[in-house]
């Protein structure tokens, strides 16, 4: 039984937050939703867990007790200790005390939170707070684990611990979906959905998305002039230029596109399309 | 059911740690108890009086309660009496003269005035056919409440704007995280400090002027004294309140906390400063609290200057108290503000936690 | 050539806790230096010392060849993590304030967001807010840019554009010091400085830092079982797609640990992130020992 959404559309007044978005979240796998701020990631995840009713589309999710959700804004009570936060979660989901204690102990130990047992969540660093939030969300062995930008802004060590938790949840059979703005994280997942302005930009496994880039990518030391400059972007100290069709000879060393290139190209293509349409209409 | 219980337990735990709310829960009832138990009274039990004129000794000997004779001056005349009342030395003066007895009352102390009237009429009732006694109310002959409320209002405005509004303004900067950006700009801490409080100074002063002018025009509130005297008092009082505002903001992390703290500082002042309930009707045990509050002194100055026409010289203790209080509070505020101009971390104790706040 | 910013042997104590220990850092004109570190690594403390907000307990700090002062602040453009903009003022008003403080003309917004110059910042999207913050930091033509996690939460195309702005400034002779938690950002820098537990533990380009470090890669159809098996042997496996990567363990030991789980074990070059974790955790273990 795969969880997910199909044809999801959400509008807030005359602003369309999501349009025609579909996503499958199979159990035992990690799925990511990638996009910048305002792309619609949070809206999509909120629809998935039932915190928001869509204007159109269908959702497949387990019952509330079988869902684990970590929102991007607040996963823990800052004025409760680590232990109290977990107690509250355990009691709310009707877990037995011993079962929770053992399970929580393993997670806390593995993520370096054991010493912080009696510290106020508000006094923890960002990374530790997020780890606590994820532990809280998966304490009750949910079938669907939804994490909204759990790794944004936290340090790499915490991020690595967090990914251990994610892997553990998936190993326990949960369908895990997480939102992120970082492509190197998306690369770790088995399925990626890239969103831009509420619409799907690219989807597939990281490899298939990268392989599906039409045309070529060339790397040069300087920004190319003319038409091509509109299709260039900087990465590191060099420039990458996308040439959409095969027959226009590309300049510079050609590279195999990676996920980063693929998403950038898709966003560029959409932007150019919007401009072309706007120009014609004007 | 367990879910409800879990919520209850959680709320209590959070409440236990919210020290400011706990303080309010304990502090407020105590304050209310003190105020309504002891302070809230309009009945004046003791009225200090001075007796002047040729028959002074004789009259002083027989004056009953609630009058307490604190001074006798057989050589004093009407002029001395008016001066003493203007200067606020004593609220009631019994002036003996050939024609009879005249009781001169300070009209800026309404409850003392009404109390005096009532006491005098009950005395003359009990001893009819005696000397002719006439009560004359000076400064506020109709005993209009607006006359004493308008100066009080002026004081409240300075207090409110100075404390609450200023603290909100400064805390807002810390909450938004822009304090950090200011710390890195080529600004001196003094620039930031002055720039932050000057607008509130201006607004508070303007507000006060509007209220007083409206009082004079619409309610015929008198303004007998010098504008300079009131202005000086206002400036000194503003130093106190602005300083308090900045101090409050320096120990608050967000606007909610700032308001809680500001309210706890404001309410006792409003209740116990003589603004609403006269100090003279409070038992000595509670009255001394009033003498510690800055608002008490500015209300003294405002009422004295506006209604009685008192001068800076005669009101000097109030000015001095405000000046000292202001210097201390403002000084502390400047020091704390300097320190807080470093990028904000969470309020923690111990090097470890500071390290963590700083290292994240 | 005078470095724009230089920290030499800087140590900073808070009580008896050492936040920064004998750290050295330098930013020259035209280069983008990335400062990478976990929480508590001392990154933020070092930055504050460089900005002149905190004095070092030991060692020396120089900005543009002199000690940090109110004057050196004029030559620095700082974009903190919180962006440092007033939410209730418009971009135009924010730029006017900064312009008045730094002296000179107020900054201008890039043409693509100029239409939003009169909308309160709080109502703009994060991407646009960031570009306003950058415009404000660059308005007074600073010689040194200090950026704290400049592109956190921004989509790839917008990120590339923000970095373009930084690069333009560097091309014109300014230098940039960027703190980051994210490898994608680190890879945009010319040079990296890696901190762990208050010390500088590695320096150089990505290639320099990763060096020869390798990890074991496990390809299997039964990744859950493989994961459990490795865990049972005390080996930390990281899930990447459908493969498991095991740093710090030789492939043969991994094969043995997997037992009867059908899998293909090979070796690959470590990523910057894996090398970084190794450096950080290693430093911690060393400090604890």
Q: Check residue B349 and give its pLDDT.
A: 31
Contacts of C179 in chain A (CB under 8 A): none
Q: Check residue A44 and give its pLDDT.
A: 96
The minimal CB distance from A234 to the residues C127, C163, C182 is found for C163
Interface probe with B: pick from C16, C19, C42, C132, most Cβ of B within 10 Å: C19
Distance from CA of B12 to the nearest CA of A (A): 10
**Of the candidates C64, C80, C66, the residue with the CA atom closest to the CA atom of residue C142:** C64
Distance from CA of B298 to the nearest CA of A (A): 41
Question: In chain A, pLDDT over 90 holds for what percent of residues?
Answer: 51
pLDDT tens-digit profile of A151-172? 887 888 888 899 999 999 999 9
**Per-residue pLDDT at B1 exceeds 70:** no
User: Is A38 close to C187, i.e. CB distance below 8 A?
Assistant: no
The minimal CB distance from A92 to the residues B3, B14, B353 is found for B3
DSSP result, B128-153: TTS--EEEEEES-TT--HHHHHHHHH
- Backbone angles phi and psi of A202, in degrees to 5: -160, 145
Rounded to 5°, angle at Cα C227 from C224 and C232: 130
Query: In this complex, which chains have at least 3 CB pairs below 8 Å with chain B?
Result: A, C
Average pLDDT over residues A108-132: 89
**Of the candidates B15, B54, B319, B338, the residue with the CA atom closest to the CA atom of residue B196:** B338
- What 8-state DSSP symbol labels residue A81? B
Rounded to 5°, angle at Cα C254 from C251 and C259: 135
User: Is A156 close to C277, i.e. CB distance below 8 A?
Assistant: yes
Greatest Cα pair distance, chain B, in angstroms, is 89
Residue B349 at interface with chain C, using a CB cutoff of 8 Å: no
User: Is A84 close to B5, i.e. CB distance below 8 A?
Assistant: no
B261 sits in which H/E element: helix B255-272
- Assess contact for C113 and C86: CB atoms under 8 A: no
Distance from CA of B340 to the nearest CA of C (A): 12
Q: Is the peptide bond before A107 cis (omega within 30 degrees of 0)?
A: no
The minimal CB distance from C39 to the residues A36, A127, A183 is found for A127
The minimal CB distance from B180 to the residues C17, C19, C80 is found for C80
Return d(Cα A270, Cα A282) in angstroms, integer. Answer: 18
**Of the candidates A119, A123, A121, the residue with the CA atom closest to the CA atom of residue A134:** A121
The minimal CB distance from A125 to the residues B6, B14, B360 is found for B360
Return d(Cα C61, Cα B95) in angstroms, integer. Answer: 80
Contacts of B346 in chain A (CB under 8 A): 122-123
User: Is C156 close to A166, i.e. CB distance below 8 A?
Assistant: no
Map residue A78 onto helix, strand or coil.
Answer: coil
Return d(Cα C275, Cα C288) in angstroms, integer. Answer: 20
Average pLDDT taken over every residue of chain A: 89
The minimal CB distance from A123 to the residues B5, B14, B353 is found for B353
Strand order in the sheet with C238-240: C238-240, C243-247, C214-220, C263-269
Q: How confident is the model at residue A145 (pLDDT cuts 50, 70, 90)?
A: very high
Contacts of B177 in chain C (CB under 8 A): 80, 82-84
User: Is B5 close to A77, i.e. CB distance below 8 A?
Assistant: no
pLDDT tens-digit profile of B26-47? 988 988 888 888 878 888 888 8
Average pLDDT taken over every residue of chain B: 84
CB atoms within 10 A of CB C148: 21
Return d(Cα C52, Cα C69) in angstroms, integer. Answer: 7
Interface probe with C: pick from A179, A182, A222, A273, most Cβ of C within 10 Å: A182
Q: Check residue A249 and give its pLDDT.
A: 66
Residue B145 at interface with chain C, using a CB cutoff of 8 Å: no
Structure tokens at A113: 């939170």
Contacts of C45 in chain B (CB under 8 A): 355, 358-359
**Of the candidates A163, A178, A168, A113, the residue with the CA atom closest to the CA atom of residue A139:** A168
Question: In chain A, pLDDT over 70 holds for what percent of residues?
Answer: 97
Q: Which residues pair with C196 in a beta bridge?
A: C199
Residue C73 at interface with chain B, using a CB cutoff of 8 Å: yes
pLDDT tens-digit profile of B338-358? 877 754 333 333 333 334 343
pLDDT (tens, 9 = 90+) of chain C, 289 residues, equals: 789 999 999 999 988 888 999 999 999 999 999 999 877 788 888 998 988 888 899 999 999 999 988 889 999 999 988 888 998 899 999 999 999 888 888 888 888 889 999 999 989 988 889 999 999 999 999 999 999 888 887 888 888 888 989 999 999 999 999 998 888 888 889 999 999 889 999 999 999 999 999 999 999 888 888 888 888 888 888 888 778 999 888 889 999 988 888 889 999 999 898 998 888 887 666 554 4
Q: Regarding predicted confidence, which is higher, B31 or A23? A: A23
User: How would you class C257 by CB atoms within 10 Å of its CB: exposed for 0-12, middle for 13-18, buried for 19 or more?
Assistant: buried
Q: Check residue B4 and give its pLDDT.
A: 83
pLDDT tens-digit profile of C133-183? 999 999 999 999 999 888 887 888 888 888 989 999 999 999 999 998 888
Residue B1 at interface with chain A, using a CB cutoff of 8 Å: no
The minimal CB distance from A181 to the residues C41, C154, C224 is found for C154
User: How would you class B260 by CB atoms within 10 Å of its CB: exposed for 0-12, middle for 13-18, buried for 19 or more?
Assistant: middle
Average pLDDT over residues B151-169: 90
**Per-residue pLDDT at A279 exceeds 70:** no
Structure tokens at A254: 């050609």
**Of the candidates A208, A191, A210, A203, the residue with the CA atom closest to the CA atom of residue A28:** A191
Give the contacts of B222 (CB within 8 A, at least 6 positions apart).
Answer: B139, B140, B147, B216, B306, B307
Q: What residue of A is the nearest CA neighbor of C186?
A: A236
- Assess contact for B340 and B179: CB atoms under 8 A: yes
**Of the candidates C233, C225, C232, the residue with the CA atom closest to the CA atom of residue C263:** C225
Q: What is the pTM of this model?
A: 0.80
Return d(Cα A202, Cα A186) in angstroms, integer. Answer: 12
Residue C99 at interface with chain B, using a CB cutoff of 8 Å: no
- What 8-state DSSP symbol labels residue B87? T
Q: How confident is the model at residue B180 (pLDDT cuts 50, 70, 90)?
A: confident
CB atoms within 10 A of CB C252: 10
pLDDT tens-digit profile of B64-119? 878 888 888 888 888 888 998 898 888 899 988 877 888 999 988 888 898 888 88
Distance from CA of A189 to the nearest CA of C (A): 5
Residue A263 at interface with chain C, using a CB cutoff of 8 Å: yes
Q: Check residue A281 and give its pLDDT.
A: 46
Distance from CA of B175 to the nearest CA of A (A): 15
DSSP result, C148-195: ESTTTT--HHHHHHHHHHHHHHHHTT-EEEEEES-HHHHTTSSEEEEE
DSSP result, chain C: ---SEEEEEEEEEETTEEEEEEEEEEE-TT-EEEEEE-TTSSHHHHHHHHTTSS--SEEEEEETTB---HHHHTTEEEE-TTTT--TTS-HHHHHHHHHHHH-SPPP---GGGGGGTTS-GGGS-HHHHHHHHHHHHHTT--SEEEEESTTTT--HHHHHHHHHHHHHHHHTT-EEEEEES-HHHHTTSSEEEEEETTEEEEEE-HHHHHTT-EEEEEEES-HHHHHHHHHHTT---EEETTEEEEETS-HHHHHHHHTTS-EEEEEEEPPHHHHHHHHHHHHHHHHH-
Predicted ipTM of the assembly: 0.83
**Radius of gyration of the CA atoms of chain B, in A:** 26
- What 8-state DSSP symbol labels residue A250? P
Residue B194 at interface with chain A, using a CB cutoff of 8 Å: no
Structure tokens at B164: 């609450």
Q: Check residue B129 and give its pLDDT.
A: 65
Contacts of A236 in chain C (CB under 8 A): 187-189
Q: Check residue B360 and give its pLDDT.
A: 33
Q: Check residue C283 and give its pLDDT.
A: 65
- Assess contact for C8 and C24: CB atoms under 8 A: yes
Interface probe with A: pick from B12, B13, B348, B350, most Cβ of A within 10 Å: B13
Q: Check residue A223 and give its pLDDT.
A: 85
User: Is C153 close to A271, i.e. CB distance below 8 A?
Assistant: no
Distance from CA of A87 to the nearest CA of B (A): 8
Return d(Cα C36, Cα A40) in angstroms, integer. Answer: 30
The distance in angstroms from the start CA to the end CA of chain B is: 40
Q: What residue of A is the nearest CA neighbor of C164?
A: A234
pLDDT tens-digit profile of A182-221? 888 898 899 999 999 899 999 999 999 999 998 888 898 8
Q: How confident is the model at residue B142 (pLDDT cuts 50, 70, 90)?
A: confident
Residues 27-56 of A with CB under 8 A from C: 28, 30, 34-39
Distance from CA of B49 to the nearest CA of A (A): 58
- Assess contact for C134 and C165: CB atoms under 8 A: yes
User: Is C44 close to B360, i.e. CB distance below 8 A?
Assistant: yes
Residue A235 at interface with chain C, using a CB cutoff of 8 Å: yes
């Amino acid at each position: 039984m795969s969880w997910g959404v199909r044809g999801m559309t959400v509008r807030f007044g005359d602003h369309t937050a999501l349009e025609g978005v579909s996503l499958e979240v199979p159990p035992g796998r990690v799925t990511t939703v990638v996009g910048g701020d305002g792309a619609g990631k949070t809206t999509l995840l909120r629809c998935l867990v039932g915190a928001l009713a869509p204007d159109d589309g269908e959702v497949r999710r387990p019952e509330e007790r079988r869902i684990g959700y970590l929102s991007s804004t607040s996963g823990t009570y800052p004025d409760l200790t680590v232990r109290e936060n977990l107690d509250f979660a355990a009691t709310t989901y009707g877990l037995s005390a011993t079962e929770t204690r053992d399970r929580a102990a393993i997670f806390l130990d593995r993520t370096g939170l054991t010493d912080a047992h009696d510290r106020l969540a508000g006094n923890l660093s960002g990374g530790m707070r997020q780890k606590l939030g994820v532990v809280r969300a998966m304490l009750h062995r949910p079938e669907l684990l939804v994490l909204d930008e759990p790794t944004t802004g936290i340090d790499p060590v915490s991020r690595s611990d967090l990914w251990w938790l994610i892997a553990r949840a998936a190993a326990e059979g949960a369908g895990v979906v997480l939102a992120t703005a970082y492509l190197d994280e998306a690369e770790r997942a088995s399925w990626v959905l890239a969103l831009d302005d509420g619409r799907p930009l690219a989807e597939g496994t990281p490899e298939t998305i990268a392989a599906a880039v039409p045309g070529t990518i060339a790397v040069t030391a300087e920004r190319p002039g003319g038409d091509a400059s509109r299709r260039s972007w900087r990465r590191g100290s060099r420039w990458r230029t996308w040439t959409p069709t095969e027959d226009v000879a590309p300049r510079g060393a050609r590279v195999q596109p990676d996920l980063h290139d693929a998403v950038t190209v898709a966003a560029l293509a959409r932007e150019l399309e919007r401009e072309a349409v706007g120009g014609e209409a004007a | 059911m367990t879910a409800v219980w879990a919520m209850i337990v959680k709320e209590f735990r959070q409440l236990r740690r919210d020290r400011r709310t706990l303080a309010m829960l304990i502090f407020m009832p105590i304050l209310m108890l003190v105020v309504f138990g002891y302070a809230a009274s309009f009945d004046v039990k003791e009225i200090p009086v001075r007796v002047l004129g040729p028959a002074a000794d004789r009259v002083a000997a027989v004056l009953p309660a609630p009058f307490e004779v604190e001074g006798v001056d057989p050589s004093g005349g009407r002029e001395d009496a008016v001066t003493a009342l203007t200067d606020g030395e004593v609220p009631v003066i019994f002036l003996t003269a050939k024609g009879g007895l005249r009781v001169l009352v300070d009209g800026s102390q309404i409850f003392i005035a009404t109390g005096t009237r009532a006491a005098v009429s009950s005395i003359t009732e009990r001893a009819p056919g005696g000397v002719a006694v006439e009560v004359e109310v000076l400064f506020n002959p109709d005993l209009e409440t607006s006359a004493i409320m308008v100066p009080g209002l002026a004081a409240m405005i300075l207090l409110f704007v100075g404390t609450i509004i200023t603290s909100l303004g400064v805390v807002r900067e810390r909450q938004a995280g822009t304090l950090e950006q200011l710390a890195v700009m080529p600004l001196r801490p003094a620039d930031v400090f002055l720039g932050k409080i000057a607008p509130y100074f201006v607004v508070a002063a303007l507000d006060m002027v509007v209220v007083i002018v409206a009082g004079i025009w619409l309610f015929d509130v008198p303004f007998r004294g010098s504008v300079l005297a009131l202005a000086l008092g206002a400036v000194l009082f503003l130093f106190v309140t602005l300083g308090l505002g900045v101090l409050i903001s320096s120990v608050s992390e967000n606007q909610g906390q700032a308001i809680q703290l500001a309210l706890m500082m404001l309410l006792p002042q409003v209740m116990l400063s003589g603004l609403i309930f006269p100090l003279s009707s409070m038992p000595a045990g509670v009255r001394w609290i009033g003498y510690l509050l800055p608002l008490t002194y500015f209300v003294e100055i405002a009422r004295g200057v506006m209604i009685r026409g008192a001068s800076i010289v005669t009101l000097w203790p109030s000015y001095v108290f405000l000046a000292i209080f202001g210097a201390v509070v403002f000084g502390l505020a400047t020091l704390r503000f300097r320190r807080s101009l470093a990028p904000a971390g969470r309020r923690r104790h111990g090097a470890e936690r500071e390290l963590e706040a700083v290292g994240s | 050539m005078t470095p724009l910013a230089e920290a030499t042997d800087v140590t900073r104590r808070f009580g008896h806790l050492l936040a920064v220990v004998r750290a050295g850092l330098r930013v020259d004109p035209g280069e983008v230096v990335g400062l990478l570190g976990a929480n508590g690594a001392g990154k933020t403390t070092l930055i504050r010392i460089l900005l002149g907000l905190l004095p070092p307990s030991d060692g020396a700090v120089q900005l543009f060849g002199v000690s940090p002062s109110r004057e050196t602040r004029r030559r620095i453009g700082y974009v903190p993590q919180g962006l440092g903009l007033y939410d209730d003022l418009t971009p135009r008003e924010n730029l006017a304030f900064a312009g008045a403080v730094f002296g000179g003309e107020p900054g201008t917004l890039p043409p693509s967001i100029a239409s939003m110059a009169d909308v309160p910042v709080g109502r703009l999207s994060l991407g646009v807010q960031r570009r306003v913050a950058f415009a404000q930091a660059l308005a007074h033509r600073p010689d040194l840019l200090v950026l704290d996690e400049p592109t956190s939460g921004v989509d790839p195309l917008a990120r590339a554009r923000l970095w373009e702005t930084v690069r333009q400034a560097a091309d014109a002779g300014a230098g940039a010091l960027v703190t980051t938690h994210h490898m994608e950002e680190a890879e945009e820098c010319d040079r990296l400085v890696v901190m762990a537990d208050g010390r500088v533990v590695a320096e150089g380009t990505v290639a320099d830092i990763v060096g020869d470090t390798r990890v074991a890669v496990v390809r299997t159809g039964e990744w859950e079982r493989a994961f459990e098996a490795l865990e049972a042997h005390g080996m930390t496996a990281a899930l990447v797609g459908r493969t498991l990567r095991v740093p710090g363990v030789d492939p043969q030991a991994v094969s043995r640990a997997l037992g009867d789980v059908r899998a293909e074990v090979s070796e690959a070059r470590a990523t910057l992130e894996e090398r970084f974790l190794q450096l950080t955790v290693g430093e911690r273990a060393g400090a604890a020992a």
